[in-house]
Amino acid sequence: MENSALMTAPAALVPLVCWLEDCHKDSVALVGGKCSSLGELIHAGVRVPPGFALTTEGFRHFMDQSGVSAAVQSLLSGIDCENLDALEGISAQIRSLIESQSFSIEIEDQVAELYRKLSLRCCMPAAPVAVRSSATAEDLPGASFAGQQDTYLWVRGVDEVLQHMRRCISSLYTARAIAYRANKGFSDDQLAISVGVQKMANSYTAGVMFTLHPGNGDRSVIVIDSNFGFGESVVSGEVTPDHFVVNKITLDIIDRTISQKLICYTVDTKTQTSRLMDIPFERQKVQSLIDDEITELAWMGKQIEKHYGCPMDIEWAIDKDLPAGGNIFILQARPETVWSKKPQGQGSTAVGSAMEYILSGMLAGRRVS
């Protein structure tokens, strides 16, 4: 079924589960901000791990068929978001209720079939996947809902996938998420969630990339933060990552800070789960990205920004199971929400414009292209 048809089809024809490549930037109502962005990246030719999503229709089907929807509305009616203890208590009730329910046979069968096909595409049985929530309001330009719902890494087997999908749905009702939506004026009946299931990138290095400077709003540079292992340690702030500033025009690395990185997340080969580990002393001050990878990442960031037409906040990983030249993957890309709302030129010019960098290089006799 064509995606344009999906969005205009009668409710009975809207899929409960769909492939990420069947989505694009206008599919937010169907698969949320995160999954629609991944589908858009695939259509833009960006390297993205394959996967599928439980749609918002599948979410509503689960909530209505299990009777959870009515119970949640009853628990949330008249709630005082200033009463933190009461809010935490109601959140715990809702989450426990959601996680104890079962999906319908129809959804279970469809998820099992797409997971089987995904494993075949990845050439491995019970392919390890990331199970990621994708709310319809999480990446709106006027409010940053991102990070309020959960992501689970290195999930294997259809039963585990289904259980973690329920956990993603329940994370829509953390105390923090409920209070934030209330403060922003988003009622819960306006909100829906999708859950993405995506091949796990077995990363030896991962992190985040901004197509502007997140500290001062300078749009002439791309900033990359990285650490060994999965990107959890960088996103959560548990480690001080390596920091690279790249000129957006020439792709020259104009600033680098190699930090002492004490910990990282990696896969436990026995349990096939993500675990925290200490980085060996001799590797703690080793640069976690080689220069060629920094340049390729920055080039990919430029293409993504050009496609979306605005500065972007990007999560990426380098898969150690694949050869160089085809092992850098984009895991998520969303519009940057802080400096993007300010007029261009309002940010600091401490880094200098791209043209100033080129001119200074020419005067110094340095090759800049």
Domain boundary among 176, 199, 222: 199
pLDDT at 149: 63
pLDDT at 181: 80
The rounded distance, in Å, linking the Cα atoms of 63 and 347 is 45
241 and 255, same structural domain? yes
Answer whether residue 368 is part of any domain.
no
Answer whether residue 261 is part of any domain.
yes
pLDDT at 309: 93
Please give the mean pLDDT across all residues of the chain. 86
106: containing domain: 3-199
32 and 139, same structural domain? yes
162 and 250, same structural domain? no
**Token digits for 187?**
């009622």
CATH code: domain of residue 355: 3.30.470.20
178 and 321, same structural domain? no
39 and 74, same structural domain? yes
Query: 3-class DSSP state for residue 203?
Result: strand
Answer whether residue 369 is part of any domain.
no
pLDDT in tens, 48-105: 999 999 999 999 999 999 999 889 888 888 778 888 888 999 999 999 999 999 999 9
H helices present in 122-174, as ranges:
158-170
- Structure-model confidence comparison of residues 184 and 108, the more confident one: 108
pLDDT band at 271 (very low <50, low <70, confident <90, very high): confident
pLDDT at 337: 82
pLDDT at 234: 95
Residue ranges of E strands in 112-177: 129-135, 151-155
pLDDT at 49: 94
pLDDT in tens, 100-127: 999 999 999 999 999 999 999 998 899 9
pLDDT in tens, 187-233: 666 678 999 999 998 899 999 999 999 999 999 999 999 999 999 89
The rounded distance, in Å, linking the Cα atoms of 198 and 285 is 31
Q: Is the pLDDT of residue 244 over 70?
A: yes
pTM: 0.78
The rounded distance, in Å, linking the Cα atoms of 45 and 77 is 45
Domain boundary among 199, 215, 244: 199
CATH code: domain of residue 146: 3.30.1490.20
How buried is 253 (Cβ within 10 angstroms: 0-12 exposed, 13-18 middle, 19+ buried)?
middle
Domain boundary among 199, 228, 243: 199
The rounded distance, in Å, linking the Cα atoms of 147 and 25 is 19
323 and 239, same structural domain? yes
pLDDT at 357: 52
